[in-house]
Amino acid sequence: MALRPAWRRPVAGWFLLVLALTVLLPFLVVISRGLRIEGPESPLVPLDPGELPVRVWVPGTQAVETLPLEVYLTGVVAAEMPATFHPEALKAQAVAARTFAVRQMRVFGGPGCREHPDADVCGDPQTGQAWQPLAARRREWGLLDGWRFTRKIQDAVRETAGLILVYQGAPIDAVYHSTSGGRTEAAAAVWGNDVPYLRPVESPWETASPHWRSTKAMSLADFARRLQVDAKVVRQLPQGQCFARIEPSPGGRVGRATVGDRTFTGPELRQRLELPSTWWSCQRQGDRVVFAIRGWGHGVGMSQYGAEGMARQGHTYEAILRHYYPGTTLRPIFAE
């Protein structure tokens, strides 16, 4: 093999140097901006929480999209809470959503999106937090409201940037719902695990909610079919009763109910009967049953319409969060 001409050797060396700098420069830039190690086995994460990459499973596209945390949050707040709400309610929603996301993120040891293992969070409200690009919501709001609502959402996220709720130093499970109906529920009544900061609290500020009170009627035959019991058993109950026995939950909702030889939990009945919440009373009227219902959602954690009502009465987002997540502390993600 012939040797390369001597004049070409320095060129090759310069080429290797340029190649090395091209590969290393992005890493050196990140290092210069500051990194922090969260534990001996955790990956490096940026000190600026706005730069944290979040992998989001996007419903409809069946794809995972990586977004900066604070950009992701604008889409959550816009999808989860009406943009007409008070700025302090939107800020409370931003902190709850950020806390929920951080707790899920694998970079912090979270479980990620269980239904979609490649993602940290799911953009589906049935499996995580609702999410929609803020630009898409802006188009839906229209020309007149698009700019104003977009700015409100961005301000709520920016003015709470990097703040999360913690309990005993760890991010909390910051669950929330639309309307409690007047009192929130204990986590144990819904998911079986007692959580100190997810206990029932009064929530009388929700009367403006369209879900404050509602009714639902169904035929007795449909009621029996959904519960897989004999309609004759229901007809044999005392006048007007739908169930033989109802036990209250810690929050005063339906904890358990028995009909025939079957006993159901409140969440099971909500799912089987397609009720908006577990806080209801039931009357049998001839060949149909009628439910009088309070609230919408599982009832645990922050009531969104409760947050709106508190904000309209002059409460700050910090006060709202303290009320619905008692015993928690507000702090930056990367607190010293």
Question: Could you tell me the pLDDT band of residue 305, with boundaries at 50, 70 and 90?
Answer: very high
The distance in angstroms from the start CA to the end CA of the chain is 61
Is the CB of residue 107 less than 8 Å from the CB of residue 45? yes
Position 131 scores a pLDDT of 95
Domain residue ranges of the chain, discontinuous segments joined by +: 52-206+299-332, 213-294
Tell me the mean pLDDT in the region 95-123: 93
pLDDT of amino acid 38:
35
Give pLDDT tens digits for 279-297: 999 999 999 999 999 999 9
What pLDDT shows up at residue 117?
87
Please report the DSSP string for 189-209 in residue order: HHHS---TTS---B-TT-TTS
Amino acid 5 reads P
157-198: pLDDT as tens digits:
999 999 999 999 999 999 999 999 999 999 999 999 999 999
- Please state the φ and ψ torsions of residue 255, each to the nearest 5 degrees: -85, -50
Output the six-digit token pair for 237: 């109950």
pLDDT in tens, 17-48: 444 444 444 433 333 333 332 333 334 444 57
